[in-house]
Structure 1
């Protein structure tokens, strides 16, 4: 699953259960600003992404990831 478009599709599919406001998801969608997630939602979502891709996203990485595109980039680099 090294194709970026496939990773983006998988990430957005994982977001859907947490997308309570029905926000249109793009690379620029922010987790805090656009989706208005609280810290518990972020933790649940990160766990789902880690399970899906069999990766570990460190707390330092989480702090730097603000958009879906940045998350896709992080997943790609961790899977490489």
Structure 2
């Protein structure tokens, strides 16, 4: 089952919000490392939540390329399209 990008982005924002301890406004260009200051444990929690939410496997080797919320939304749409 495919998912469109607006749906993926909206749900992704909901998954990120509880982890957004700094209360940073969440936008597509929000950076996980710079803006949100997520550590590796928080990133792995988010990855696990995304994998459960969309029934996908996110390869660890693509994580360094997923710098912003928009990057992750694109990856979710791509991975769902491949499943």
Normalising by structure 2, report the TM-score.
0.92
1:77 alignment partner in structure 2 = 78
RMSD value over aligned CA atoms?
Answer: 0.9
1:3 alignment partner in structure 2 = 4
Q: Which runs of 4+ in 1 moved over 2 A?
A: none
* Contiguous gaps of at least 5 residues in structure 1: none
Q: Distance in 1 between matches of 2:60 and 2:38?
A: 16
1:36 CA drift (Å): 0.4
1:14 alignment partner in structure 2 = 15
Count of residues in correspondence between the two structures: 80
* Contiguous gaps of at least 5 residues in structure 2: none
Q: Distance in 1 between matches of 2:38 and 2:15?
A: 14
1:63 CA drift (Å): 1.5
Normalising by structure 1, report the TM-score.
0.96
